[in-house]
Amino acid sequence: MPDTDGAPALWLSDEAVDGRVLDELHADVGRTGLWPVALNREGFTQPVSPNWPPAPFDADAVLAGWSTRCARRGTDHEYDGCETCEAVAQIPRSLPGGSFAADRDQDPGRTAAFVARGQLAYAPYLGLVACARSADIPTALGWDGPANRHDHIGQYSAVLGKWEESYGARVVALFGASLVCSVARPPRSIDQALGLVAEQRAFNPEFAGQCESVTLHAASLVGTSLWNFWWD
């Protein structure tokens, strides 16, 4: 374990890294206590956030508050064997960017490394963050991606922590206003994903709002190993 006396710390690579390094470090988190994250070196001049430790936010309370201000975009319909939604749910997610369609739960470390590999074109540098869980990485680094929303970054870590427990989600890349998570235990059906859609739309209404239909959004989450969020 890193000798940081319980405080968060960041080690940042001087050069771009390759996928093999990611494979090793993501597999070794349990032993080292260091969470790998792909970065683009922008906005990470300080070793850790001056506002650490994060405030003890409750994820459900945070989501409830955000939901009240999240305007619903587009139109939706009830899912009842819709052929379009079924087609979206079956699309293979083996496209560039590091996603794949999983028909069973995956190893969190291997999934994180796989997804992180696909982000190196945007975030080629490696950060190693000493903190309790992957969800705390944005707060430990003082990341300001959702700055226009004027929320405490610890609120985002609280929600990410909920998803880390429920879906095996891990923060694997931060660049600009984008946050990328790997997902080891994604929803297996549209019905299972519908509740998650509401949470994602509250968490990131700008990006999630690009899905015209709530049901289509749910279909896109079925079996996918990658969640990509972006704030305007």
Biggest CA-to-CA distance, the chain = 55
The pLDDT assigned to 218 comes to 86
Task: Kindly tell me the sign of the dihedral angle through the C-alpha atoms of 88, 94, 99, 104.
Answer: positive
Q: Which amino acid belongs to residue 6?
A: G
Give the residue with greater pLDDT, 2 vs 59.
Answer: 59
Q: 92-101 pLDDT, tens per residue?
A: 344 334 455 5
Collapse the DSSP code of 7 into the 3-class scheme (helix H, G, I; strand E, B; otherwise coil) and give the result. coil
Q: What values do phi and psi take at 23, rounded to 5? A: -55, -45
pTM attached to this predicted model: 0.83
CB 175 within 8 A of CB 38: yes
- Average pLDDT estimate for 132-154: 88
The C-alpha atoms of residue 24 and residue 152 are separated, in whole angstroms, by 32
Q: 155-204 pLDDT, tens per residue?
A: 999 999 999 999 999 999 999 899 999 999 999 888 889 889 989 989 99
Q: Which amino acid belongs to residue 25?
A: L
